[in-house]
Amino acid sequence: MKLAILFGGSSFEHEISIVSAITMQKVFKKTELVNIFVSPMREFYLIDKKDMKSKYFSSGDYKKAKKLQLQKGGFVIGGMFGDKNIELDTLLNLIHGRDGEDGKIASMMEFYGVPYISPRVEACAVSYNKLFTKLFANSVDVKTVPYELLYKNGSREIKTTLPVIIKPSRLGSSIGVSIVKEESELDYALDVAFEFDDLVLVEPFMSGIKEYNQAGCYTDKWELSIIEEPHKEEFLDFEKKYMDFSRDGKVGEADVDEAIAKKIQNSFKTVYGNVFKGSIIRCDFFVQDGEVYLNEINPIPGSMANYLFEDFENMIIRLAQNLNFEQNIKIDYTYIHSIQSAKGKA
């Protein structure tokens, strides 16, 4: 299988997408990878395997790579003697944050008919906007942390008791997120959050909780990862972030009560449902007093959460073999023909 890895993008998470893509080079052993970089200016470049090093991108050297155009059927290199197609069987969308997780890449692959592993556009809307995540999860009876909404030019009075977490509604990776413990910190935290979004969620800071991550996908069957208990820090710092996106070894399974594990797995399947078909997602859950709450959906997790799966590479292959495609719509102009007849100018 030829698997294209699409990474980079015009996103706050551009750089960690590069780290994720470099990790993929080690994770895939038998699959031929075709690396396609989306530059900060949103131009496509075909990157040689030997150049898949962070410095190649940070130095701007990638600009010497071959530029690609996306068109009907896939990517091409334009040239004097016509276009040359880039052969690929499936594309893996590995652009974290904007472009990758907001539905742009999914839309473009769908429009141009490139088979792709990624949340589809609707799944992106559900996971990219934290308010929609809550509405959607609640509609399928999966509990979420309670919240209130604040609007950029609206009142800043909050009803939730401190401490609270302030989150911009869109964006991921803790960008613009603050924990507010004292009344006096609230205004600044809101200023920061409103830098990134017009809509901000205020959630109670839940204490005495356990945090668990569950990743997985549906191929021709459910393929769930082990449950991970992430290292808890108040803030996701630099080291931790790098760890997450560059990780290719295995991690240990969380020591979690069987009944809770079952609840987490069921919640994951319910959320994934039909909406997330075609993608591998990671759901982050909180557990408090035996109750499971969906915290967020990570629709393109760091390094695809490969380290949580027994056999990641073969799972990707099975997923690629089980993608759904859009319905074929036959357009035969029956309707226009009948208008023309009705008007007597057929």
Region near its own copies per CB under 8 A, out of 5-13, 181-189, 293-301, 313-321: 5-13
Q: Tell whether residue 148 is a contact of its own copies (CB under 8 A).
A: no
**DSSP codes joined into one string, 215-277:** EEEESSSEEEEEEE-PPP-SS--HHHHHHHHH--S--PPP---HHHHHHHHHHHHHHHTTTTT
What sign does the CA torsion over 103, 172, 288, 258 have?
Answer: positive
Region near its own copies per CB under 8 A, out of 159-167, 281-289, 307-315, 330-338: 330-338
Edge-to-edge order in the sheet of strand 210-218: 222-228, 210-218, 281-288, 291-298
Report the alpha-carbon distance of residue 181 to residue 6 in Å, rounded.
40
Q: Binder to its own copies among 2, 49, 113, 154 (CB under 8 A)?
A: 113
CB of 303 to its own copies, least distance (A): 14
CB of 183 to its own copies, least distance (A): 28
Neighbours of 217 (CB within 10 A): 24
Helix (H, G, I), strand (E, B) or coil at 335: helix
Region near its own copies per CB under 8 A, out of 123-131, 156-164, 209-217, 290-298: 123-131
Q: Binder to its own copies among 85, 87, 107, 266 (CB under 8 A)?
A: 107
CB of 261 to its own copies, least distance (A): 26
The H or E element containing residue 23 is helix 14-27
Report the alpha-carbon distance of residue 307 to residue 230 in Å, rounded.
12
Which 3-state string (H, E, C) describes 95-156?
CCCCCCCCCHHHHHHHHHCCCEECCCHHHHHHHHCHHHHHHHHHHCCCCECCCEEEECCCCC
For residue 60, give the nearest of 75, 45, 70, 50 by alpha carbon. 45
Region near its own copies per CB under 8 A, out of 131-139, 176-184, 226-234, 312-320: 131-139
Per-residue x/- marks for its own copies, 197-236, CB under 8 A? -xx-------------------------------------
Q: Binder to its own copies among 58, 288, 321, 341 (CB under 8 A)?
A: 58
Q: Binder to its own copies among 1, 25, 43, 211 (CB under 8 A)?
A: 43
Q: Tell whether residue 146 is a contact of its own copies (CB under 8 A).
A: no
Q: Tell whether residue 144 is a contact of its own copies (CB under 8 A).
A: no
Q: Tell whether residue 68 is a contact of its own copies (CB under 8 A).
A: no
Per-residue x/- marks for its own copies, 255-274, CB under 8 A? -------------------x
For residue 254, give the nearest of 296, 299, 215, 304 by alpha carbon. 215
Q: Tell whether residue 179 is a contact of its own copies (CB under 8 A).
A: no
Record the tokens describing residue 338, joined without a space: 């009948």
Report the alpha-carbon distance of residue 318 to residue 216 in Å, rounded.
13
How many residues make contact with its own copies (CB under 8 A)? 63
CB of 73 to its own copies, least distance (A): 10
Q: Which residues bind its own copies (CB under 8 A)?
A: 10-12, 14-16, 18-19, 40-43, 54-55, 57-58, 69, 71-72, 98-99, 102-104, 106-108, 110-113, 121-122, 124-126, 128-129, 131-132, 135-136, 139, 151, 196, 198-199, 238, 242, 274, 326-327, 329, 331, 333-340, 345
